[in-house]
Amino acid sequence: METDKDQPGYELDSAPKMWIEHRKQKKRLVDFSFGADPSSDTQPLRTHTKVLWNTAGDAVAIQFQERHYSHLSVYRLKGDLSDPESFLACPLPVDGEIIQKLVPRFKEFRSRWFQHPDAWIDDHTLL
């Protein structure tokens, strides 16, 4: 996984693009933006990102941290490791929609939950 601050359009208070690359083939498998607010803290970008691969190497959970929040993205490999095509984003349930059903009086809800990927239980289940 790489980041690049020398890309066109990068500004000081923005986060650089990130990507997952197959190193042997030098092939980019997915491009994505930093999943949190890069200005919410003064720590460097590398301390705000946690990457957790499953044992097969065909899925990855990426946690992006802010000062009071964290966000989780999950990507799964399309193709196989010897000839990868791309990584596809796996949709996750939205916290606010879950809370809204439990507490209907909240019109707008942004939880102070932290989404922490702890471990892959197997190659398909993230804890």
Residue 2 pLDDT > 60: no
Task: Classify residue 7: in a domain, yes or no.
Answer: no
Task: Classify residue 74: in a domain, yes or no.
Answer: yes
Q: How far apart are CA 40 and CA 36, in angstroms?
A: 8
Query: Checking phi first, is residue 100 left (phi over 0); if not, alpha (psi -120 to 50) or beta?
Result: alpha
The whole-number pLDDT of residue 100 equals 76
Phi, psi angles (nearest 5°) of residue 28: -75, 125
Q: Which of 96, 94, 76, 95 is nearest to 86 (CA)?
A: 76
Amino acid (1-letter code) at residue 111:
S
Q: Which of 75, 62, 77, 68 is nearest to 117 (CA)?
A: 62
> Stretch 42-71: mean pLDDT, rounded?
82
Task: Classify residue 6: in a domain, yes or no.
Answer: no
Q: How far apart are CA 92 and CA 84, in angstroms?
A: 23
Task: Classify residue 4: in a domain, yes or no.
Answer: no
Range of the domain at 60: 17-124
Task: Classify residue 40: in a domain, yes or no.
Answer: yes
The whole-number pLDDT of residue 78 equals 95
Task: Classify residue 2: in a domain, yes or no.
Answer: no
The whole-number pLDDT of residue 111 equals 58
Residue 61 pLDDT > 90: yes
Find residue 59's DSSP bridge partners.
76
The predicted-structure confidence for 15-46, as pLDDT tens digits, reads as follows 667 889 888 888 999 998 877 776 666 555 65
The whole-number pLDDT of residue 67 equals 75
Tally of structural domains, the chain: 1
Task: Classify residue 41: in a domain, yes or no.
Answer: yes
Please count the residues of the chain.
127
Task: Classify residue 12: in a domain, yes or no.
Answer: no
The predicted-structure confidence for 68-112, as pLDDT tens digits, reads as follows 778 899 999 999 888 899 999 999 877 777 777 777 777 665 656
Concatenated DSSP letters for 18-84?
EEEEETTTTEEEEEE--SS-TTS-SS-GGGGEEEEE-TTSSEEEEEEE-SS-EEEEEEEEEE-SSSE
